[in-house]
Structure 1
Amino acid sequence: MTMDEAFGGMPDVAWLKRVLPKAEVAMRSNNRDVQATLCARGAGLAVLPRPLGDAIAGIERVDIGETPPGRDTWVGYHRDLKRLARLRALLDLVIERLAN
């Protein structure tokens, strides 16, 4: 499974095409939850965020000899909120969860 054609230039799409050049696309979706659900039901392979894949029964990590490309995560907020304790707590939690 890959992202829909609008996201065909994403790094994970290019990576899948390179490492599995003979694979057939079973379905295209830009929704990772849809991709994960279809994988869990046996529809094929997808590059998923580990927290999502690890949380869904029926999905197994597959080693195809190369690590998929990573993604940077950006959080935007107004500079007036920089010292807001609730925002700092949220950012600390997100950083902790995504770093592992």
Structure 2
Amino acid sequence: MDTGFGGMPDVGWLMQGLPGARIVARSNSREMQARLCALGTGLAVLPKPLGAVTPGLVEVNIGSEPPSRETWLGYHRDMKRLPRLRALVDLIVESAAMR
């Protein structure tokens, strides 16, 4: 994570769980963090879907669960009753609940 994101809950959680770790790279791009980890550069807190599709990554348990995140989905109120939108929202909610 770059210094602009140092106050995010997952950064504090990672630093608390691994107090002796040193920072070797910073990026606010989760994809770049995943690539660096796959190359053996270090550890990062990544979304599970990204970790699942990035070859070379291994999930590591540091003794506690990472902080959760809220996800917001916005759409125009005129589209609220559109069946295609409702189907998409249901799919996203179901998919997120499985993670």
In the other structure, the counterpart of 2:75 is: 77
In the other structure, the counterpart of 1:49 is: 47
- The one-letter amino acid of 2:19's match is P
Structure 1 length normalisation: TM-score?
Answer: 0.92
Structure 1: stretches of 5+ with no match in the other structure: none
Structure 2: stretches of 5+ with no match in the other structure: none
C-alpha deviations, 1:21-56, integer Å up to 9, x for none?
111111111111111111111110000011110111
Identity of aligned residues (%): 60
CA distance in 2, matches of 1:83, 1:23: 50
- The one-letter amino acid of 1:72's match is E
- The one-letter amino acid of 2:47's match is P
C-alpha deviations, 1:35-86, integer Å up to 9, x for none?
1111111110000011110111110001111111111100111211111122
In the other structure, the counterpart of 1:10 is: 8
CA distance in 1, matches of 2:15, 2:35: 21
The CA RMSD measured in Å over matched residues stands at: 1.0
| Corresponding residue pairs, total | 98
Structure 2 length normalisation: TM-score?
Answer: 0.92
Secondary structure of 1:98's counterpart equals helix
- The one-letter amino acid of 1:81's match is M
- Picking from 17, 20, 25, the partner of 2:18 is 20
Secondary structure of 1:86's counterpart equals helix
Runs of 4+ deviating beyond 2 Å: none
